[in-house]
Chains A and B, each alone.
Chain A
Amino acid sequence: MKKLIAISLLALSFAAGAAQAAVQTIKAEVNGMVCAFCAQGIEKKMRSLSQTKDVYVNLKQKLVAVELKEGQTLSHDTVKDLVKDAGYDVTKIETVGASVKDIKSSIKE
């Protein structure tokens, strides 16, 4: 019985770890993003993508973060092109294994 419980706990922890690892967010540093009214285009364009789960815009950090739905992919070039379409320039872009919620929390700390 103890063995069964141990195996179950191990399986659960692996599953949780896998779910955590599945979280993918594209973080972009964007030049020219100085007002919320003007930057709304970036958020709307990102939210219109079927791969998008959540979007976070931070004017002070010049940051746009796009969290992807589980199992979805999105190229950096697509994000750059959409930001360009909205009138801004991406200066740095990376994919991180953190959710938008985590990124928000880390910035506010």
Chain B
Amino acid sequence: MPETARRERFEQTVLPHLDAAYNLARWLTRNDQDAQDVTQEACLRAFRFFDGYQGGNMRSWLLTIVRNTCFTWLHQNRPPDTNEVFDEEIHSAEFSGGPSPELQVLAGADKETLRRALEELPDVFREALVLREIEGMSYKEIADIASVSLGTVMSRLARARARLRQSLGARLGKES
């Protein structure tokens, strides 16, 4: 049956990237159950579009679908991003605010503190950081997945890091 053969091919080529798919969904929804729902929906959607897959980077292809499914889901199920959303082009000069924390403070950041600080970033910043630092993707790949320009990727990453650093400094500074 062609349908079965198609499913088997899908399972062999797409499912190896399930960890990456879930990881992105998990960071964007910030919740395990929602991430599972979104990943599942994205995979079924990917299966429907599978015939349109032209070859190339399978992980990017899948993550693009996961990303779009996530943002649709967030739009329907969550109040607008509580962290104010900046227009990157207008605010692109803003990112140096506040003294940066000491190197030792950053070096001592534990996993839980890092996780919380990352979760507090606006969605598009968190997305860029997760794709870059956890998935190790290039600017070009991130730009393709998020459908933005290379310049926007660079500016999102810069501002995501600046905010993360500030937030870590505040958290760790308080504790110590």
A, B assembled together: no
